[in-house]
């Protein structure tokens, strides 16, 4: 476990009047440094300079705090993917940018990313006004490959693409990708091409570096 690196502004955050936000930020940073299991409520309270009892004014316990971090991470990821999907360019170009956005999120927000996959959020019901990364991926697949996947449900293909993306992001974060050869973005493009073609998309000859990614 890596030692905690306290910042000068940490203990000032609560005194600026927003204990809830200070606790969420503390948890996000602890997760990035130590993993979801690497801190307690006492640790979070100590970091922001309050007693553990003060935390219960905002969260019923550690799991509730973790659920809030995971929910915010999920929202941040969905917004990034939505921006990529709604940007300029062809469906293929937007689909490729979604993959780049996903890997960038995993690298830039390790606390959020870990919380998304390590924390269960019971009672989180789908909402029509809440962006969902998986639904965005399905939408992008349908727009990029309008002829479909030879009868294969696009949601099945989307889950395979997400699994591939998560695997590459995890390997990159742990330093297990080869030091030479294709980078993580190129690996993702090649892997997604193999998946969608295997699912029944007619093989074409895309321009170098222009293959799709989630």
The pLDDT of residue 208: 43
DSSP annotation of 38 = S
The pLDDT of residue 9: 52
What CA–CA distance (Å, rounded) separates 91 from 96? 9
The pLDDT of residue 5: 54
Mean pLDDT by runs of 10 across the 214 residues of the chain is 49 62 92 92 88 86 93 95 94 93 97 91 53 92 92 93 96 93 94 84 51 46
Q: Which of 81, 105, 85 is nearest to 94 (CA)?
A: 85
**CA distance to 126, 186, 190, per residue, from 140 (Å):** 19, 19, 17
Q: Which of 189, 46, 153 is nearest to 55 (CA)?
A: 46
DSSP annotation of 204 = -
What CA–CA distance (Å, rounded) separates 182 from 155? 28
């Amino acid at each position: 476990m890596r030692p905690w690196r306290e910042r000068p502004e940490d203990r000032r955050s609560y005194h600026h009047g927003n204990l809830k936000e200070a606790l969420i930020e503390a948890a996000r940073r602890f997760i990035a440094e130590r993993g979801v299991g690497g801190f307690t409520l006492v640790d979070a309270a100590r970091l922001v300079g309050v007693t553990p009892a003060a935390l219960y004014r905002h969260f019923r316990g550690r799991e509730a705090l973790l659920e809030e971090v995971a929910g915010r991470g999920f929202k941040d990821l969905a917004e990034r993917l939505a921006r990529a999907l709604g940007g300029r360019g062809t469906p293929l170009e937007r689909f490729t940018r979604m993959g780049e956005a996903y890997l960038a999120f995993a690298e830039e927000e390790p606390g959020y990313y870990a919380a998304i996959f390590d924390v269960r959020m019971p009672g989180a019901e789908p909402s029509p006004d809440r962006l969902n990364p998986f639904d965005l991926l399905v939408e992008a697949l349908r727009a990029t490959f309008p002829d479909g996947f030879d009868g294969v449900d696009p949601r099945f293909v989307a889950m395979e693409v997400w699994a591939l993306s998560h695997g590459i992001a995890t390997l990159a974060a742990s330093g297990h990708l080869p030091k030479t050869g294709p980078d993580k973005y190129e690996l993702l493009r090649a892997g997604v091409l193999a998946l969608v073609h295997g699912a029944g998309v007619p093989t074409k000859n895309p321009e170098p570096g222009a293959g799709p990614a989630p």
